[in-house]
Amino acid sequence: MFEKIQAIGRLSLLPVVQIEHAADAVNLGKALIEGGLPCAEITFRTDSAEQAIKFISATFPEIILGAGTVLSIAQAEKAIGAGAQFIVSPGFNPKVVDWCLEHGVPAIPGVATPTEIEMGLDKGLNVLKFFPAQALGGIETLKALAAPYASVRFIPTGGINPQNLAEYLQMPIVFACGGSWFVKTNLIAAGEFDEITRLTKEAVSIVHQCRNLRGTI
């Protein structure tokens, strides 16, 4: 399963999705694939998350699928049982991280301080979520925070948008960016999946431009 995390790094962008109605999950998965971004983090902020993960994993096995906002071992168990391939948390919960490591499940806990980064390193983790990125000071804070930890790469999430995505992605310490502007809850609820595909294509285009600037493709 840990190769799934590396695949997110290659895609460089992780959709952070809140689904109110599980019935919308398959259409969302289709929209992401058509937009050129076959991955998603389905957040456990709604009661539909577990079922949505089941629907997407069963219909689109090619999608790299994770569960986000996982706050407990019980949620982690539900997510993995439904078909999630990795676990994302807003903060560093040692119990959830330990459960994931014991069960061979990739974990991406959130960090905001040097202490939390070192907690991650102590668990053998080298890809961590920086959350909430913009509210914590954005790129300048991330640079300062990451400076002593050469082996760690980050997934900044929170406040990422088309205007600052490229600036984040051009930082070598950034593994990928988490974003929700192209998979907004209101677009999903309104059934505007063509718009989600369009916005996803725009986001992927920014990723490709950044790769060209960095000479990686």
**CA 51 and chain centroid, separation:** 19
Contacts of 146 (CB under 8 A, 6+ apart): 117, 152, 154, 173
The kind and range of the H/E element at 55 are: helix 49-59
Cis peptide bond N-terminal to 109, omega within 30: no
The answer to whether 197 and 37 are in contact (CB under 8 A) is no
List 129, 184, 195, 202, catalytic entry: 129
Please tell me whether residue 171 adopts helix, strand or coil conformation.
coil
Q: Is 118 one of the catalytic residues?
A: no
Cα 46–Cα 52–Cα 58 angle in degrees, nearest 5: 165
Residues comprising the chain, all counted? 217
Residue 39, phi then psi, degrees to nearest 5: -155, 160
* Nearest Cα residue to 182 out of 167, 166, 169, 198: 198
Q: Is 41 one of the catalytic residues?
A: yes
List 4, 20, 41, 201, catalytic entry: 41
Give the number of C-alpha atoms closer than 13 A to the C-alpha of residue 5, restricted to the C-beta side.
Answer: 20
The answer to whether 166 and 210 are in contact (CB under 8 A) is yes
The residues assigned a catalytic role are 41, 129
